[in-house]
């Protein structure tokens, strides 16, 4: 099967257009929380990510992580909640150079549960924030670190 030059150029332009249109959302996703992830103060990170720094402490947010971490470079953490309509779960570490450590978008209708490992620069308070509609629910715990994992 032979393809004419005109047909080849047409297919090439269609393929290029499709690739470029698919890449635009990726770059938008990469910068959606740029200001929040680069904020060096806790309240600024809250404000940049959520538009508010008003958190309501809730026992419905279940935060599990060790009270003492021998190595701050890889501290296991899990967060779950049975709340309905969870939009995101975010992790903040008060005394890290950049407090916003992770933020997970929770698709509608899925179980709101995440597990990961985070870095702690030093002994600090770790706060999990669950966003449900316009409300921010949180749970915090202090973790003692014997060997730090982040540089300033």
CA pair distance 82, 131, nearest whole angstrom: 12
In DSSP terms, which residues pair with 139 in a beta bridge? 128
What pLDDT, on the 0 to 100 scale, is given for residue 70?
87
Question: What's the rounded mean pLDDT across residues 10-29?
Answer: 62
Higher pLDDT, 140 or 3: 140
Strands laid side by side in the 75-81 sheet? 61-64, 75-81, 112-118
Query: What DSSP assignment string belongs to 71-105?
Result: -TTSEEEEEEE--SSEEEEEEEETTSSS-EEEEEE
- Short-list 38, 47, 45, 62, CA closest to 128: 62
- Per-domain residue ranges for the chain? 1-31, 35-145
What pLDDT, on the 0 to 100 scale, is given for residue 152?
47
| pLDDT single digits (tens) 68-82 | 998 888 999 999 999
In DSSP terms, which residues pair with 9 in a beta bridge? none
Q: Which fold has domain 35-145?
A: Immunoglobulin-like (2.60.40)
Whole-number average pLDDT of the chain: 86
Asked if the model's pLDDT at residue 121 lies above 80, the reply is yes
What pLDDT, on the 0 to 100 scale, is given for residue 7?
77
């Amino acid at each position: 099967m032979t393809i004419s030059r005109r047909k080849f150029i047409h297919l090439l332009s269609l393929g290029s257009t499709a690739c470029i249109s698919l890449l635009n959302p990726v770059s938008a996703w990469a910068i959606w929380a740029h200001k929040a992830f680069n904020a060096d103060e806790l309240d600024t990170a809250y404000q940049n990510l959520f538009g508010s720094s008003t958190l309501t402490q809730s026992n419905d947010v279940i935060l599990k992580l060790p009270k003492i971490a021998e190595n701050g470079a890889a501290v296991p953490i899990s967060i779950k909640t049975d709340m309905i309509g969870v939009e995101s779960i975010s992790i903040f570490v008060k005394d890290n150079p950049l407090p916003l450590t992770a933020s997970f978008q929770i698709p509608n209708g899925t179980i709101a549960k995440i597990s990961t490992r985070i870095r702690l620069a030093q002994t600090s308070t770790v706060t999990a924030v669950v966003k449900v509609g316009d409300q921010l629910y949180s749970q915090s715990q202090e973790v003692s670190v014997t060997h730090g994992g982040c540089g300033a």
